[in-house]
Amino acid sequence: MWTVIYIASTSRQAEKICERLAAEGFLVRQRQASTARQQYEILVPASELDDIRELLNDILHSSYSS
């Protein structure tokens, strides 16, 4: 089962996060959220959620500190 782990505010941000997760060997999908604003959901397999959550925190932290 696929689970939304993050909602990105831009397509580019979603792409960058997906690329980093995929580079680490994780399965990842991206889709446009069904809201009035353009937002993008990043989905991962529920079975990998804990491992990916830690990596996502590192990705987000590094992008904000750059």
Task: Note the pLDDT of residue 66.
Answer: 47
Which tokens belong to 39? 């937002």
* Tens digits of residue pLDDT in 14-27: 999 999 999 999 99
Predicted TM-score (pTM) of this structure: 0.84
Higher pLDDT pick, 62 / 40: 40
Domain residue ranges of the chain, discontinuous segments joined by +: 2-65
Which whole-number Å values give the CA distances from 52 to 9, 34, 37, in the listed order?
19, 23, 26
pLDDT value at residue 36: 64
In this predicted structure, the answer to whether residue 12 has a pLDDT above a threshold of 80 is yes
Query: Which fold would CATH assign to domain 2-65?
Result: Alpha-Beta Plaits (3.30.70)
pLDDT of residue 65 exceeding 60, the answer is no
